[in-house]
Amino acid sequence: MDLFTNLEQRLETLLKKFATLKEANAVLEKTLAVKEQALKEAEAALDKVSQEREVIRQRIDKILNRLEILDKEESA
């Protein structure tokens, strides 16, 4: 084989590898985008649960305070 044929073959091999890697990268980018969206949705759900938990905690505190006032009134 002459030098140019060898060089052409090596170049062809590199171009095929590049195309394969480019396709793999596109798949990974798509997968990453899906995972990022799922993470955003999970974070939003977690925020909602945290807010609901805080509302419930406040309501329980309010009820406990009212019961405490009633208990003090009964003791007096």
**What is the average pLDDT across 25-34?**
98
Helix (H) or strand (E) holding 28: helix 3-75
Percentage of residues of the chain with pLDDT beyond 90 = 88
Task: Measure the CA angle with vertex 19, ends 16 and 23; round to 5°.
Answer: 140
**The residue to which tokens 């009212």 are assigned:** 66
Reported pTM:
0.65
What pLDDT score was predicted for residue 2? 92
Q: What is the pLDDT of residue 73?
A: 81
In this prediction, residue 66 carries a pLDDT of 94
Q: Is the pLDDT of residue 45 over 80?
A: yes
Query: Distance between CA atoms of 64 and 61, rounded to whole angstroms?
Result: 5
Half-sphere exposure of residue 60: CA atoms within 13 angstroms, side-chain side: 6
Over range 40-53, report the average pLDDT: 98
| pLDDT beyond 90 at 70 | no
